[in-house]
Homo-oligomer: A and B are copies of this chain.
Amino acid sequence: MSVEREISPRTIERLSLYRRLLLPHHEGEDSYIFSHDLAELAGVTATQVRRDFMQLGCMGVPRTGYRIGELLSGISGILDAPAGQRAALVGVGHLGAALLNHFSGRWRWLHIHAAFDRDPDKAGSVIHGCHCFPMSELSTLIRERKIDLGIITVPRDHAQEVANQLIEAGVQGLLNFAPIRLRHGDDIYVENVDLTSAFETVAYFARCRRPSLFISESHRGFPSLDDRKLRGDDVKS
C-alpha cells in the first residue's frame, strides 16, 4: 500500500509545476532531462529538484538525467486520484467565472463538476461549460455526485456560511478565494488564495528593491512628486 509519509505542501506544489514544465519536453519514451535544466525552468535549485524526485522514488542516471516519462508517471501517481476528484465552485461572479473558464475541461482526473450561485438568474445556465445551480440544491448535489472539493469565490461576508454548507455536505478540501480565513475542523484541508495579500506583498518587496524610496518618515502626506529614478534596462537573466 502506498500510504507513505505525507509529502510536504511545498513539494506538492513544485511537483505540480514540474509536471506542467515537463509535458512539452516529453517527446517519445527516450526523452530525458537534467535536474539543473528543470531547476532553471522551475526557478529552484538543482538540489531541490533532485530531493523532490527522491520522494517520488524516481532515480536519475549520471550524465543522462531523468527519464521524463517516468517522472510524469511518478508525479501523476502522487497528484492524481485513481478514482478522480470532483470540485464544486460557489459564487459565479467575475472571479468565479474566470476560474470556470480557466479550469474547464483541463484535466481528466480533477475538474469542476458544478457551480452554484445565489442569483436565481444564473441558475440553470451553463457558464464556460459548467452547469450552474441554485444554492438550495448545493447539499443534495454535492452528496449525490460525490463531490470532494469546494472552491469558494463568494464575497467575504458569505464565505464562512458557504464553507459550512460545503463541509456539511461532505467535501474534504476547500480552495478559498475570499479574503478571510475560514473556520473549519482538522479533517478539512483549506488552501487560501489571497489575492490582496499577494498584491500587497509584491508592492512591499518591489519597494524594498529601491532603497531610495524605502526610507520614509511619516508615510502620511505626499512627498516630492518625483523621487523615483526609473533605472530601467536592468534586464538580465
Contact = CB atoms under 8 A, between A and B. Distances in A.
Interface of A: 1-3, 6-7, 9, 12-13, 16-17, 19-21, 23-24, 40-43, 56-59, 69-70, 72-74, 76-83, 85, 87, 93-95, 97-99, 101-103, 105-110, 143, 146, 148-149, 151, 164, 167-175, 179-185, 187-191, 193-211, 213-224, 226-237
B194 A85 contact: no
A131 to B, nearest CB: 18
Contacts of A110: 199-200, 203
B175 A103 contact: no
A215 B168 contact: no
Nearest to A13: B197
Given A73-B224, A83-B223, A175-B199, 9 more contacts: A72-B230, A81-B219, A83-B228, A94-B94, A94-B97, A146-B226, A149-B202, A188-B234, A189-B206
B17 A205 contact: no
Given A202-B173, A209-B188, A219-B82, A231 B24 contact: no
